[in-house]
Amino acid sequence: MKKAFLVMLLAAIVSSKILSQCIPDTTYIRPGIYPDTSIGIPPAYATYMYEVVITAVIPEDTLFLGSRVPVDSIGVTKVIGLPEGFTTATDSPSGFWKGGERGCMLITGTPTHQQVGEHQLNFKLAGYIASWALPVNFDLTSYSLIIYDSVLHGIADREVPVSSVKVFPNPFAEKYTIELYATTPVLLDMCVFDLNNRVVAIKQLNTGIGINHFTFNCSDLKPGLYFCRLISNDGIAGKAFKILRY
């Protein structure tokens, strides 16, 4: 009983920490903010869960008053312009990263039909350099979040024919089971994404009418939070949910 309680406590602690974090994209090496501001962040669709990871590669030094000086740290103090219900979380508790480090911010939310449109974002940033006590404040205003009407874009009325999706146990150690209800037989791909929106696994689900159960061994996944999306064989994206491996 004591061992079971400790396992549950550990799972709760891991869940609370990982659910609020992201993983910076290690493919970015040069100092800067990514995705590149000329490309921007992906759009969102009303009533569909949205998440995006912004990666920052902090420079080791910078030009200040005509001289190259070491960067102590740079961080985000506030994000202005996100629609109501959207949240941000960084992989650093303070939201700051040391010079030469790589960090990230996770933006998540489920937009409503009332929030359709373009939302200009303003990231309030602060930087500290060596031998200078005061912060250097600046704004990053190159990103905007565009929310599309899911009905007008043919998403809301093309849902895959499944409902009541449940995952248990969740968090899981090695195996988890998906329970879902299908109104018609359908072949689905379950795509598993990491927090950088990269596909790390694809599982095939061949459903029958009624309640279906599928059990998967995901011991090859690293501990962390993953997003899953059910996609039919004709490419229609459907239900999304989260899984957490501890």
Type of residue at 24: P
Q: What is the pLDDT of residue 138?
A: 93
Q: What is the pLDDT of residue 23?
A: 85
Q: List CB contacts of 197: < 8 A, sequence separation 6 or more.
A: 42, 51, 52, 53
CB 218 within 8 A of CB 169: no
CA distance 151 to 116: 11
Output DSSP code: residue 13: H
CB 210 within 8 A of CB 182: yes
CB 41 within 8 A of CB 143: yes
Q: What is the pLDDT of residue 102?
A: 95
Q: What is the pLDDT of residue 155?
A: 56
Given this structure, which CATH class describes domain 159-245? Answer: mainly beta
Structure tokens given for 56: 């920052």
Every domain range in the chain assigned CATH 2.60.40.10? 12-148
Every domain range in the chain assigned CATH 2.60.40.1930? 159-245
CA distance 83 to 20: 19
Nearest to 46 by CA among 143, 117, 122: 117
- Provide the β-strand partners of residue 224: 245
pLDDT in tens, 100-143: 999 999 999 989 999 999 999 999 999 999 888 899 999 999 99
Structure tokens given for 9: 């406590």
- Phi, psi values for residue 168, rounded to 5°: -150, 145
Quick one: residue 164, left, alpha or beta (phi over 0 = left, psi -120 to 50 = alpha)? left
Nearest to 232 by CA among 188, 184, 193, 192: 188
CATH, domain range 12-148: 2.60.40.10
Which stretches of the chain are assigned E, i.e. beta strand? 32-34, 44-45, 50-57, 61-64, 67-80, 87-90, 96-98, 102-109, 117-120, 122-129, 136-140, 144-148, 162-168, 175-182, 186-193, 199-207, 210-217, 224-232, 237-245
Q: What is the pLDDT of residue 43?
A: 85
Model pTM above 0.85: no
Q: Which parts of the chain sit beneath pLDDT 50?
A: 1-20, 157
Give yes or no for a cis peptide into 43 (omega within 30° of 0): no
Cα 15–chain centre separation: 15
Q: What is the pLDDT of residue 234?
A: 59
Q: What is the pLDDT of residue 189?
A: 84
Which stretches of 48-93 are assigned E, i.e. beta strand? 50-57, 61-64, 67-80, 87-90
